[in-house]
Amino acid sequence: MLTAEQEAGAVAFRQHTQLPLDDCLYALQETIPQLSRSALHRLFQRHGISRLPAPEPAEKKMRL
């Protein structure tokens, strides 16, 4: 069970870094040792950030 403060920190971390779930888990387990992958995924789902946005396509180079 995470505290509201821990949840807010995890959500802010994900939004700021845009890291994948496993990378977030690895980084956050240092400060929240009881954090599990499934709990983190459920938290991200509740806040609508479980899926990262698709990368923007690279701009096409203009030919001269």
For 8-62, how does the pLDDT look when each residue is reduced to its tens digit (9 = 90+)? Answer: 999 999 999 999 999 999 999 999 999 999 999 999 999 999 988 777 776 665 5
Query: What pLDDT sits at residue 53?
Result: 77
**Separation between Cα atoms, residue 45 and residue 30, nearest integer Å:** 22
